[in-house]
Amino acid sequence: AILKRSNWVDPVERRNAYTAQGWSKFDDTLDPYGPEQIAQERNRYRQPGV
């Protein structure tokens, strides 16, 4: 509900982007992202002017 009221994230668009990169489901056995991977993800979805 919160995401639907916000213009920051379109859940359908984000899921489509993840699946296009090969994602299929959450895997809790993987290591968490490090600072560099976090920065890459943030840059990938950053909106211009934000």
Digit-coded pLDDT (tens) for 9-38: 788 888 998 899 899 999 999 999 999 999
| pLDDT for the residue 29 | 97
Reply yes or no on whether the pLDDT at 7 is more than 80: no
Pick the more confident residue, 8 or 4: 8
pLDDT at 33: 94
Q: What is the pTM of this model?
A: 0.59
* Helix, strand, coil in percent for the chain, rounding step 5: 50, 0, 50
* Backbone phi, psi, residue 29, to 5°: -90, -10
pLDDT tier, 44 (very low <50, low <70, confident <90, very high otherwise): confident
